[in-house]
């Protein structure tokens, strides 16, 4: 089967995970004065010295230049070129264990110089490290230095040697924060230097780094600390929580009969619940790309597992970071791998906290988030959280509330759909006995209760304890749902029925404005980015969005009649045909592409015969059982032009970006059921 992977050879797997080092810093930054981000301000005039400035000579394999550093970092660099200037490719995004960081390469001898004014209660926050993909025994040390040059006397504020001897992984990294209050109000030159501890001739610069590792600075920031006890300035802190594979109609707040989500229900009591929120795609990659860009898949172009968000498209993290927010994400990787472009704009992007292989990824995400939040009580921040907990396989830790869902006579205490339906899902369309269906659904519900019990509830308590809840904008959503034979199949990523694309959306506003309100108008995940920016008072990029701000709905005012779309591209996984949905209340139009030759024969039993056009009145037929396409031809004709325009744009795919899917990512995707 064709999985639409890049034809490039798969690279070797990433190194073993590194214990995250960045989580605890003492202070945050006041929103009124944004941090000075040295990486974002890098220009050619800032680079006083670097061996990477000199082009490598094809005739001299020992010559300095950027190419050799690229080769040494091949397994660590996220192939995601930063937008804007990047002198001599010094700015990189590196994978260091479970974390992804923006860095400035600083192979000795490097000198970076910045002229700036020190803000009130200023502090310099930074990391530094070495990386060597072919790590051996190294003896040489790299010295990292920071100097403040101010007339009449310069001050050395940091000096630390580092080497890779004894490193458990392919890198060493450390993090520091330095109080600069002695220089408040002064204009100084901050100089970042690296040098070899030994005397180093210019011609030996490359050989030194090849032996001892490539040096780098991790996202240095100059942050203006706020006075203790002073309330945070507007706009609000922002927490976006995405629970993978969570269908709306299995939450208590959406009328579900089982007690899956008491914490989410309490959050809804403080916020606004949207009863008709739709995903732009029935799978993780494209849906999350829409969630984090405000664009439909045809524009962000993260459609296949060999694609990524096109570099010209700004993410919400990039926009908020430029506006002065500190940004972090704790995710489950897989289709949220940094290689797809999701790490762009994040000061810290962790792609293992919520991974599918963990028994309790929900608790792990919350644990990481709590540590990060503890250090940012006085900051303005954007925090993105993602957990695969409800995703197949359905397994969860032992806790008392499991008994609310699982009976002793149920055969499965945990289950993998691959074990039941076969590796590659050849029995995807096979029915189960009523007892098995009940058991499967109960296990999925336990997964939801696990997220509620170990992530949502404790996270809200953390925010309240830290004094962050009242002023926070908190958004709870999901990328897509899950089918339990509602339309004759299982899992997700194969149809556009509501069990897969109708997702929960709860928005808790600062000050609990609109608390307890329920909104029934059609909205989409595509609306989240414009809504966040409007609430935060941050200007939208000139490129605009496909979604709309939901602020009028917060005030009880209706939006103009909405037309939403959802798209499954042909061959996304297992060669399923393309499908496209148009939603305009009360109708939903679904167009289904043709099966490829031999497609139906792969499955036992085969899928139902193709129905080219489906039309449903969701107000009268929310379960989508009564196809009105033949009786409502005028409605079909009204909605068809929307589909035609969208599909034309999707086929053009200008700016499409392919990436290399390495062995580690391939294994993650297989564990999630996307590869055979």
Q: Rounded CA gap, 265 and 279, in Å?
A: 21
Angle value at C-alpha 553, between 513 and 319, nearest 5 degrees = 80
Of 512-516, 608-612, 647-651, give the lowest mean pLDDT range.
647-651
**Tens of pLDDT, residues 208-259:** 888 888 999 999 999 886 554 454 456 899 999 999 999 999 999 999 999 9
**Tens of pLDDT, residues 442-496:** 999 999 999 999 999 999 999 999 999 999 999 999 999 999 999 999 999 999 9
Q: Rounded CA gap, 75 and 134, in Å?
A: 10
Q: Considering only residues 322 and 661, tell me which one the structure prediction assigns the higher pLDDT.
A: 322
In this prediction, residue 97 carries a pLDDT of 85
Q: Rounded CA gap, 325 and 319, in Å?
A: 9
Residue 237 structure tokens: 């802190």
| Contact between residue 578 and residue 593 where contact means Cβ atoms under 8 Å apart | yes
Task: Kindly tell me if the per-residue pLDDT of 370 is higher than 80.
Answer: yes
Cβ neighbors of 367 (< 8 A, separation 6 or more) are 353
**Tens of pLDDT, residues 292-302:** 999 999 999 99
Of 223-237, 309-323, 416-430, give the lowest mean pLDDT range.
223-237
In this prediction, residue 62 carries a pLDDT of 53
Domain ranges across the chain: 36-224, 238-559+663-671
Closest CA to 438 of 405, 460, 403, 466: 405
pLDDT band per the 50, 70, 90 thresholds, residue 165: confident
Q: Rounded CA gap, 158 and 176, in Å?
A: 9
H-helix or E-strand spanning residue 68: helix 66-72
| Contact between residue 121 and residue 33 where contact means Cβ atoms under 8 Å apart | no
Closest CA to 452 of 389, 505, 500, 503: 389
In this prediction, residue 3 carries a pLDDT of 30
CATH 1.10.760.10 is the classification of domain 238-559+663-671? no
**Tens of pLDDT, residues 40-72:** 999 999 999 999 887 655 445 455 556 777 777
Q: 404-426: buried (b, 16+ CB within 10 Å) or exposed (e) per residue?
A: ebbeeeeebeebebbebbeebbe
Question: Per this entry, what is the length of the chain?
Answer: 676
Burial class (CB in 10 A: 0-12, 13-18, 19+), 179: middle
In this prediction, residue 55 carries a pLDDT of 61
The mean per-residue pLDDT over the stretch 326-354 comes to: 91
In this prediction, residue 471 carries a pLDDT of 92
Average per-residue pLDDT in the chain? 86
Q: 479-507: buried (b, 16+ CB within 10 Å) or exposed (e) per residue?
A: bbbbbbebbebbbbbbbbbbbbbbbbbbb
Reduced to 3 states (helix: H, G, I; strand: E, B; else coil), residue 314 is: coil
Measured in degrees and rounded to the nearest 5, phi and psi for residue 243 equal: -100, 110
Q: How far is CA 107 from CA 49, 208, 215, 216, 332, in A?
A: 10, 9, 5, 7, 32
**E-strand spans in 433-552?**
473-477, 483-484, 490-491, 502-508, 517-519, 523-524
| Contact between residue 66 and residue 51 where contact means Cβ atoms under 8 Å apart | no
Residue 502 structure tokens: 């109708």
Task: Kindly tell me if the per-residue pLDDT of 30 is higher than 90.
Answer: no
Of 34-38, 166-170, 539-543, give the lowest mean pLDDT range.
166-170
The mean per-residue pLDDT over the stretch 585-611 comes to: 92
**Tens of pLDDT, residues 262-283:** 999 999 999 999 999 999 999 9
Q: Considering only residues 593 and 574, tell me which one the structure prediction assigns the higher pLDDT.
A: 593
CA dihedral for 526, 260, 370, 535, sign (positive or negative): positive
| pTM across the whole model | 0.88
Q: Considering only residues 462 and 77, tell me which one the structure prediction assigns the higher pLDDT.
A: 462
pLDDT band per the 50, 70, 90 thresholds, residue 186: very high
Task: Kindly tell me if the per-residue pLDDT of 22 is higher than 50.
Answer: no
- Residue with structure tokens 């849906």? 287
Q: Rounded CA gap, 34 and 323, in Å?
A: 7
Fold of the domain spanning 36-224: Jelly Rolls (2.60.120)
pLDDT band per the 50, 70, 90 thresholds, residue 546: very high
Angle value at C-alpha 404, between 403 and 410, nearest 5 degrees = 60
In this prediction, residue 171 carries a pLDDT of 84
In this prediction, residue 78 carries a pLDDT of 75
The mean per-residue pLDDT over the stretch 647-667 comes to: 61
The mean per-residue pLDDT over the stretch 434-448 comes to: 97
Burial class (CB in 10 A: 0-12, 13-18, 19+), 21: middle
In this prediction, residue 129 carries a pLDDT of 94
Cα-atom radius of gyration of the chain, to the nearest Å?
Answer: 26
Q: Considering only residues 375 and 20, tell me which one the structure prediction assigns the higher pLDDT.
A: 375
């Amino acid at each position: 089967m064709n999985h639409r992977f890049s034809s490039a050879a798969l690279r070797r797997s990433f190194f073993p995970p590194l214990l995250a080092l960045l989580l605890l810093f003492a202070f945050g930054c006041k929103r009124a004065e944004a941090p000075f981000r040295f990486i974002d301000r890098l220009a050619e005039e800032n680079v006083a010295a670097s061996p990477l400035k000199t082009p490598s000579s094809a005739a001299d394999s020992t010559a300095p230049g950027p190419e050799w550093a690229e080769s040494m970092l091949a397994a660590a660099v996220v192939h995601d070129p930063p937008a804007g200037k990047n002198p001599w490719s010094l700015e990189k995004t590196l994978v260091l264990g479970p974390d992804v960081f923006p860095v400035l390469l600083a192979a000795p001898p490097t000198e970076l110089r910045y002229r700036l004014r020190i803000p009130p209660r200023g502090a310099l926050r930074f990391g530094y490290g070495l990386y060597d993909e072919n790590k051996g025994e190294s003896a040489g040390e790299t010295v990292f230095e920071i100097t403040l040059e101010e007339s009449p006397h310069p001050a050395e504020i940091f000096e630390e040697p580092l080497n890779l001897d004894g490193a458990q992984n392919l890198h060493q990294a450390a993090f520091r924060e330095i109080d600069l209050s002695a220089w408040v109000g002064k204009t100084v030159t901050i100089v970042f230097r690296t040098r070899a501890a030994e005397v180093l001739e210019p011609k030996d610069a490359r050989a030194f780094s090849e032996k001892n590792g490539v040096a780098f600075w991790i996202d240095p920031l100059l942050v203006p600390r706020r006075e203790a006890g002073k309330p945070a300035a507007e706009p609000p802190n922002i927490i976006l929580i995405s629970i993978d594979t969570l269908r709306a109609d299995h939450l208590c707040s959406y009328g579900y009969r089982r007690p899956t989500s008491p914490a989410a229900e309490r959050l809804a009591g403080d916020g606004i619940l949207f009863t008709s929120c739709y995903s732009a795609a029935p799978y993780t990659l494209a849906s999350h790309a829409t969630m984090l860009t405000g664009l439909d898949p045809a524009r962000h172009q993260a459609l296949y597992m060999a694609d990524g968000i096109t570099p010209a498209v700004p993410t919400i993290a990039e926009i908020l970071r430029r506006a002065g927010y500190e940004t972090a994400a704790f995710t489950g990787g897989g289709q949220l791998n940094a290689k797809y472009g999701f790490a762009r704009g994040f000061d810290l992007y962790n792609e293992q906290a919520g991974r599918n292989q963990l028994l309790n990824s929900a608790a792990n995400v919350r644990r990481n988030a709590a540590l990060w939040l503890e250090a940012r009580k006085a900051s303005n921040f954007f925090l993105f959280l993602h957990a695969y907990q409800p995703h197949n396989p359905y397994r969860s830790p032992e806790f008392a509330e499991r008994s609310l869902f699982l009976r002793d006579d149920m055969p499965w205490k945990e289950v993998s759909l691959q074990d039941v339906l076969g590796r590659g899902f050849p029995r995807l369309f096979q029915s189960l006995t009523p007892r098995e269906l009940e058991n499967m659904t109960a296990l999925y519900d336990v997964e939801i209760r696990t997220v509620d019990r170990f992530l949502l509830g404790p996270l809200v308590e953390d925010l309240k304890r830290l004094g962050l809840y009242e002023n926070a904008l908190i958004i709870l959503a999901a990328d897509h749902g899950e089918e339990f034979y509602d339309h004759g199949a299982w899992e997700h990523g194969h149809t556009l029925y509501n069990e897969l694309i109708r997702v929960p959306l709860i928005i808790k506003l600062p000050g609990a404005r609109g608390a307890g309100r329920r909104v029934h108008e059609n909205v989409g995940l595509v609306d989240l980015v414009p809504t966040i920016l409007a609430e935060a008072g941050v200007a939208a990029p000139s490129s605009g969005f496909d979604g709309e701000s939901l602020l009028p709905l917060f005030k009880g005012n209706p939006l103009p009649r909405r037309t939403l779309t959802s798209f499954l591209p042909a061959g996304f996984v297992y060669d399923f045909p393309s499908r496209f949905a148009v939603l305009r209340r009360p109708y939903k139009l679904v167009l289904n592409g043709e099966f490829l030759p031999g497609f139906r024969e792969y499955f036992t039993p085969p899928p139902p015969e193709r129905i080219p056009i489906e039309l449903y009145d969701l107000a009268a037929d929310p379960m989508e059982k009564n196809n009105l396409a033949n009786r409502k031809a005028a409605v079909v004709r009204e909605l068809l032009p929307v589909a035609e325009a969208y599909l034309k744009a999707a086929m053009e795919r200008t700016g499409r970006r392919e990436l290399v899917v390495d062995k580690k990512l391939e294994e993650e995707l297989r564990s999630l059921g996307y590869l055979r």
